[in-house]
Amino acid sequence: MSVATQLRSPIQPSSETRAILGPAGNRDRVSEEQKRKKEGFKKPKKLVSETPQAVVQKSVSVDSLCTSSDSSCSGSSAKNVRSKRRVKNTDLKPAKIVPDGVESVKISPIVPIEIKRCDWITANSDPLYTTFHDEEWGVPVHDDRKLFELLVLSQALAEHTWPAILTKRDTFRKLFDNFEPSSIAKFTEKKLLILGGNHNTLLSEQKFRAIVENANQLLKVQQEYGSFNNYCWHFLDHKPVRNGFRYARHVPSKTPKSELISKDLMRRGFCCVGPTVVYSFMQVAGMVNDHILNCFRYNDCNSNVKNDLKPKFGEIEVPAEAVESRHLSHD
């Protein structure tokens, strides 16, 4: 080949392309490309959009409602998820997780139960008066000292009400030596004058003298009957009378039985013991149960009576039903 032919042949490009001159010079640009070739340039992976866990939980809860046979479930679940995304966080409620095989139980809210009492106890009644109704009134009493105290308080009902008397009850106990009959029977005339002049007791001098006189007569009854308890309860064959009134207005102020006891007490020398006073005494001492039928204390006061309503005459046991009917007909 001639020299001219060699000169006309195209110039073969070099294996290395010339780097384009960059703004900071060609030297820095070439060094960066070489580093990339040496380290091995890797294409960035496609970014996969990760769904938030909250959205997944919502979609799972929606999909769980669908069965495998429902073809339209996938479309409806997607719509539900989109609609739930628009709901504010304040409206979201945590999912209730129930184990498999266990049925969910709806717990009803606790509703306070209103206690029903006798009509003469209202929401505005004195708490002391309410406690007296719930714990004492109508409960059978068999202690002589307590029976005498209740008789004195029943006598005061002729001039005052139970709430007023109960507020002065501690004062009465201090003045009358805790209603011990043997101690009251020894009160002198001087002490009676002092007690009669004390206006904080709510009692008149006549009532004080009646209390002292009744204490003396009670001591005589104890000698004859062994106790004042035996005397009071023998009028009822030692069994309380259970009345069954539906309303407080049906409760009487006196009965033939209270009139009988009143006459016997006055015959023995007791003072201020009329039929109305005696019946109030019988009520508070539990000799009669005058709680109305829907009062919660009616059954409570009768709970201890069933065992007593089975007296035995010789070896024959009388049925409790027969004895109950007999006592209910007393008054």
Could you list the beta-strand ranges (E) of the chain: 241-242, 288-289, 312-313, 316-317
Q: Is 330 annotated as a binding residue?
A: no
Angle, CA 38 vertex, CA 32 and CA 39 arms, to 5°: 90
What is the rounded CA–CA span in Å between residue 143 and residue 230?
A: 10
Backbone angles phi, psi at 294, to 5 degrees: -90, 5
Residue 225: both structure tokens together: 């009957």
Residue 128: both structure tokens together: 């002391």
What is the rounded CA–CA span in Å between residue 87 and residue 94?
A: 14
Q: Is 199 annotated as a binding residue?
A: no
Those residues whose C-beta lies under 8 Å from the C-beta of residue 134, and which sit 6 or more positions away, are: 117, 297
Helix (H) and strand (E) counts in the chain: 16, 4
Start-to-end CA distance of the chain, whole Å, equals 157
Q: Is 133 annotated as a binding residue?
A: yes
What is the rounded CA–CA span in Å between residue 287 and residue 211?
A: 21
Q: Is 160 annotated as a binding residue?
A: no
209 closest CA partner among 228, 185, 232:
185
What is the three-class DSSP state of 180? coil
Known binding residues for Zn(2+) are 118, 133, 291, 295
Known binding residues are 118, 133, 291, 295
